[in-house]
Amino acid sequence: MDVIVVGYLAGTRAAKQATRTVPIVMVSQEDPVEIGLIQSFAHPQDNLTGVATSGRDLSGKRLELLRDVISKGLRVGVLWDSNAPGPPIAFKHYEAVARALKIPLQSLEVRGPQPDLEGAFNISVRSRSNALIVIRNPSMRRHLSSIVDLAITNRMISISEGTSYVVEAGVLMSYAADEDDQYGRAAVYVDKILKGRKPGELPVEQPKKFEMVINLKTAKQIGLTIPPNVLARADRVIK
């Protein structure tokens, strides 16, 4: 291969373990410095570069968006897979932001590949959580239909870290980097590498375009009226 393009953390790690010479271009939702994949965004070194989010910068935005929808009595459950490398780091970011915003937060920890989702939602009911954050990873994506069904049954407003979770599966909202833009920028890296640039000399870029999506079909199912000031900020509304 002349270059490898990878869209998930597990795949990026596997590619890096498999080769130290073939250039790797990642499209990552995790902070590659915090995880230990690269030395720094400016100087990634070795054979890895691409587009990646720094330090889960969007965690605070998502919590603030939930607070805009439920202005009083917001209690958030965070569903995450402790078997995967990225979600534990992401959960710590949500914890820190929730403390700063004084928002009660409940850990809904599961273990893939067969997570106990009903057990996690039972915990959310006991903790009186009325909102749900789904931390993105392949295991969560495989079980997304069940997660959405449980959130609707428990009348929880849900927000995800990926637009596709809203469009394809029915999560209520998402606030995330524009995935099409990220992969378009990854293609620019591929072009530069095929023209002779070394990946370790190409700084890792952070997302520049973000997208907020709201699914009104899901809102109707849980009897929720999205506040007009929130609806007006959406880039896409699914009716």
The pTM for the full model equals 0.90
Three-state DSSP state, 188: helix
- Whether 74 has a pLDDT exceeding 60, the answer reads yes
| Topology (CATH level 3) of domain 59-176+211-238 | Rossmann fold (3.40.50)
- Whether 55 has a pLDDT exceeding 60, the answer reads no
The encoded tokens of residue 34 equal 């915090």
pLDDT of residue 56: 63
Tokens 């959405």, residue? Answer: 148
Cis peptide leading into 113, omega within 30 of 0?
yes
pLDDT tens digits, residue range 114-156? 999 999 999 999 999 999 999 998 889 999 999 999 999 999 9
The encoded tokens of residue 72 equal 């009083």
Same fold, 4-54+179-208 and 59-176+211-238: yes
**Percent of the chain at pLDDT above 70?**
98
Tokens 């959310």, residue? Answer: 124
More confident residue, 150 or 11: 150
CB atoms within 10 A of CB 171: 26
Question: Given strand 173-177, what is the order of strands in its sheet?
Answer: 105-110, 76-81, 131-134, 157-160, 173-177, 210-215, 236-238
Domain coordinates in residue numbering, the chain: 4-54+179-208, 59-176+211-238
pLDDT of residue 66: 97
pLDDT of residue 86: 83
pLDDT tens digits, residue range 221-234? 999 999 999 999 99
Contact partners, residue 135, CB within 8 Å, separation at least 6: 78, 79, 80, 81, 86, 87, 90, 91, 94, 161
Kindly give the interhelix angle for 117-126 and 144-153, rounded to the nearest 10 degrees: 30
pLDDT tens digits, residue range 189-206? 999 999 999 999 999 999
At the fourth CATH level, the homologous superfamily of domain 4-54+179-208 is: Response regulator (3.40.50.2300)
